[in-house]
């Protein structure tokens, strides 16, 4: 069902992992990177990408470059092509939607460029899968997280990859099949799925995928867009709130700061009104360096398909009260 | 609560992982093994230990030895001491209870011997934690699985380790704290816990630990012993069943074979009677090599605190019918 959602049934396999973090470790550490390679990442990668790549860079010694993006959040494909010509990409890793500011990256276009240089392409879809449609034609590995945009439970995530992927195993252990083999089985997904699978979580994800199927990704995207626009309209109406990011090209997430409050203080105040936000660096320090919000971080609001009028009304009255107290 | 169960509160920390497999990968791959080291394992290790060690042996080149055990399943501490004198142990890894035949290893005694040689000691308690009491005095890493003997849900496992452990990180990623650090935080458990924790599974484990506390590990062990003895009495009454292992020193698990049936066939027949067993190599080929059941494997029965008279009665009548059909 996930393969259908990603339009890649027949060509790709699904590999289940306990978390998107382990999925990204499995992919990035299972590739054959070498000292002379150049690895590209966007400015919006999570620590589950950057900490793995910093570690690999220290041990392998490849070059790590940022994919160019303008100050107003535009990816200029010609500029990126020039980057790729100057330093041929061996691997390109991009988050599909930024977990800090919701920015949607043109991952299909950049992957197509990268494939012109025979690079391996990895897209972290933790904040996008099931909401932003995607064509995987030029994408080798697409990572999903069950408990984020897919609205499933904790404990299930993973990636889809081509059936003929040569990726090496990362976590090693029992596979329930081919047990006499001293190494992991070569078949996919068994090559990567060591240990007991979290069957309950996978069943939960299955249920949420069925629900998604019945609604359709287009309707979900439209409803989320509407909720996003409502949230943006509310937040931008207050002079004490400064919003970061690109309104026109973002999904589900808005990062901002409250004048005179640290992001943590603002989070605590909102919590008193029953409004849950994530504050600080959101495990993506590079994104904050780009936004100019490092090291303080931001207050991150997010909506989903299920955000309703009452939620938005509660937020508005909370912000009215906070404004009065300034 | 887990630290209390393991009598190590104050000295050790709990590290949560999605599975015991990932816990064992984290421990074995985070140690500083070198080419001149000798690593000891028992004959009863799961592939979550052996596949990791085979991989490390191939890349690092250390010596891998089996801890001696007699054909009648006795660990002779003097013989093991001689082994350790001949080849000084750098690392000793032992499963506390075999997942194939239930054999309980004298892990405290062997760990004490190993500590005389300054070895690192790792015990895989996946099939023991919460049922077989343990003193961790000479044990550096003790692995637990939430969904096995601890009767919690899938999705939570981990290990306890000394607060001053110098183990390196394995899975890298976001930790929710210290996000600007390009490396994992040095503190424990944060050094090892990258990515979203499975909070629901941890809450489930917490509940099951509370229940265990209210009953007491001694009562649980005694009830399991009683159920084990009943299971043993039933299985050993049939001439067509051959049991493997040491009745006097085993926990919860009995491995056997049915005359004229492969283990998989026997498993399918039992399944028709609503009796769930695990067949084949149970991800521990070394144990079967030792038992003489490689590569066919065994039919593995197991009981728990909750096995009741009806379960045992159903098994007996199923076996009566199977015997008639032989």
Can you tell me the distance from the alpha carbon of A56 to that of B54, in angstroms, rounded to the nearest whole number?
22
Chain-chain contact of A154 with B200 (C-beta, under 8 angstroms):
yes
Can you tell me the distance from the alpha carbon of A130 to that of A208, in angstroms, rounded to the nearest whole number?
10
| Residue carrying structure tokens 């190599």 | B281
Q: Checking phi first, is residue B274 left (phi over 0); if not, alpha (psi -120 to 50) or beta?
A: left
Q: How far is A186 from chain B (nearest CA, A)?
A: 14
| Residue carrying structure tokens 């083999």 | A181
Work out the percent of chain B whose per-residue pLDDT is above 70.
100
pLDDT at A220 over 90: yes
Q: Checking phi first, is residue B302 left (phi over 0); if not, alpha (psi -120 to 50) or beta?
A: beta
pLDDT at A326 over 90: no
Chain-chain contact of B184 with A48 (C-beta, under 8 angstroms):
no
Query: What are the DSSP calls for A145-204, one per residue?
Result: ETTTTT---TT-EEEEEETT--PPP-S----SSSTT-SS--SSTTTTT--S---HHHHHH
B218 close contact with A: CB closer than 8 A: no
Q: Where are the alpha helices (DSSP H) in chain B?
A: 2-5, 20-30, 47-60, 77-86, 107-115, 199-215, 217-236, 263-272, 285-291, 309-325
Q: Which residues of B35-67 are buried (b: 16+ CB within 10 A; e: fewer)?
A: eebbbbbbbbbbbbbbbbbebbbeeeebeebeb
| Residue carrying structure tokens 């289940």 | A16
Angle of CA points B182, B186, B192, to nearest 5°: 90
Chain-chain contact of B182 with A18 (C-beta, under 8 angstroms):
no
Chain-chain contact of A180 with B155 (C-beta, under 8 angstroms):
no
Residues lower than pLDDT 50 in chain B: none
Q: How far is B246 from chain A (nearest CA, A)?
A: 23
Chain-chain contact of A25 with B54 (C-beta, under 8 angstroms):
no
Chain pair A-B, CB pairs under 8 angstroms? 158
> Which pLDDT does position A149 carry in this prediction?
97
Which two tokens mark A90? Answer: 């061996």
Can you tell me the distance from the alpha carbon of B87 to that of B45, in angstroms, rounded to the nearest whole number?
20
Can you tell me the distance from the alpha carbon of A166 to that of A104, in angstroms, rounded to the nearest whole number?
29
pLDDT digits (tens, 9 = 90+) for A37-89: 999 999 999 999 999 999 999 999 999 999 999 999 999 999 999 999 999 99
B57 close contact with A: CB closer than 8 A: no
Query: What is the CB neighbour count within 10 angstroms for residue B108?
Result: 18
> Which pLDDT does position B71 carry in this prediction?
95
Question: What's the mean pLDDT in A123-129?
Answer: 98
Question: What's the mean pLDDT in A248-256?
Answer: 97
B174, B182, B183 member nearest A283 (Cβ): B174
Chain-chain contact of A51 with B25 (C-beta, under 8 angstroms):
no
Residue B63 in 3-state DSSP?
strand
Chain centroid offset of residue A136 CA: 15
Q: What is the mean pLDDT of chain A?
A: 97
Q: How far is B324 from chain A (nearest CA, A)?
A: 32
> Which pLDDT does position A162 carry in this prediction?
98
Chain-chain contact of B179 with A284 (C-beta, under 8 angstroms):
yes
Q: Which of A191, A139, A111, A143 is nearest to A46 (CA)?
A: A143
Which two tokens mark B280? Answer: 């084949």
Instruction: List, edge to edge, every strand of the sheet that includes B298-302.
Output: B241-244, B253-258, B298-302, B278-280
pLDDT digits (tens, 9 = 90+) for B60-103: 999 999 999 999 999 999 999 999 999 999 999 999 999 999 99
Q: How far is A204 from chain B (nearest CA, A)?
A: 13
Question: What's the mean pLDDT in A20-35?
Answer: 98
> Which pLDDT does position A28 carry in this prediction?
98
φ, ψ of residue B15 in degrees (nearest 5): -115, 120
Residues 301-320 of A with CB under 8 A from B: none
Q: Are B127 and B97 in contact (CB under 8 A)?
A: yes
Can you tell me the distance from the alpha carbon of A121 to that of A98, in angstroms, rounded to the nearest whole number?
17
| B interface test, pick of A173, A190, A264 with most B CB neighbours within 10 Å | A173
Q: Interface pTM (ipTM) of the complex?
A: 0.96
Which two tokens mark A319? Answer: 């912000």
pLDDT digits (tens, 9 = 90+) for A267-310: 999 999 999 999 999 999 999 999 999 999 999 999 999 999 99
Neighbouring-strand partners of residue B93: B41, B122
Those residues with Cβ within 8 angstroms of residue A296's Cβ, 6 or more apart along the chain or in another chain: A257, A262, A263, A288
Angle of CA points B170, B171, B172, to nearest 5°: 110
Which two tokens mark B239? Answer: 């001439």
Query: What is the CB neighbour count within 10 angstroms for residue B259?
Result: 12
Neighbouring-strand partners of residue A93: A41, A122
* H or E segment and range at residue A278: strand A278-280
A314 to each of A43, A258, A269, A321, B227, how far by Cα in Å? 33, 17, 13, 11, 56
Reported pTM: 0.97
Residues in B closer than 8 angstroms to A180, CB to CB, are 281, 285, 294-295
Residues 169-208 of B with CB under 8 A from A: 171-176, 179-180, 182-184, 194-201
> Which pLDDT does position B326 carry in this prediction?
86
A102 close contact with B: CB closer than 8 A: no
Neighbouring-strand partners of residue A242: A257
* H or E segment and range at residue A235: helix A217-236
Can you tell me the distance from the alpha carbon of B294 to that of B301, in angstroms, rounded to the nearest whole number?
18
Residues in B closer than 8 angstroms to A295, CB to CB, are 180
Can you tell me the distance from the alpha carbon of B89 to that of B119, in angstroms, rounded to the nearest whole number?
6
Angle of CA points A283, A284, A287, to nearest 5°: 155
């Amino acid at each position: 069902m996930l393969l259908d959602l990603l339009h890649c049934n027949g060509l790709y396999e699904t590999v289940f992992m306990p978390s998107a973090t382990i999925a990204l470790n499995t992919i990035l550490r299972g590739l054959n990177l070498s000292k002379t390679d150049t690895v590209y990442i966007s400015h919006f990668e999570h620590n589950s990408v950057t900490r793995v790549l910093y570690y690999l860079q220290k041990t392998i010694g490849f070059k790590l470059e940022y994919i160019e993006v303008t100050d107003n959040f535009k990816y200029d494909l010609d500029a990126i092509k020039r980057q790729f010509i100057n330093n041929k990409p061996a691997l390109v890793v991009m988050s599909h939607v930024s977990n800090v500011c919701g920015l949607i990256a043109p991952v299909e276009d950049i992957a197509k460029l990268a494939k012109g240089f025979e690079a391996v392409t990895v897209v972290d879809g933790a904040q996008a899968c099931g909401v932003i449609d995607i064509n995987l034609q030029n994408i080798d590995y697409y990572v999903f997280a069950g408990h984020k945009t897919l609205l499933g439970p904790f404990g299930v995530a993973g990636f889809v990859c081509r059936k003929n992927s040569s990726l090496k195993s990362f976590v090693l252990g029992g596979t329930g099949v081919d047990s006499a083999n001293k190494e992991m089985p070569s078949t996919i997904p068994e090559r990567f799925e060591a240990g007991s699978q979290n069957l309950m979580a996978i069943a939960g994800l299955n249920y949420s995928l069925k629900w998604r199927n019945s609604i359709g990704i287009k309707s979900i995207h439209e409803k989320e867009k509407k909720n996003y626009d409502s949230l943006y309209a509310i937040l931008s109406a207050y002079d004490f709130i400064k919003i970061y990011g690109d309104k026109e090209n973002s999904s589900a997430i808005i990062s901002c700061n409250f004048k005179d409050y640290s992001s943590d203080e603002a989070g605590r105040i909102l919590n008193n009104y029953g409004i849950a936000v994530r504050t600080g660096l959101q495990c993506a320090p590079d994104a904050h360096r780009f936004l100019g919000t490092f090291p303080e971080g931001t207050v991150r609001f997010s909506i989903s398909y299920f955000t309703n009028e009452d939620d938005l009304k509660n937020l508005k009255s909370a912000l009215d009260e906070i404004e009065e107290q300034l």
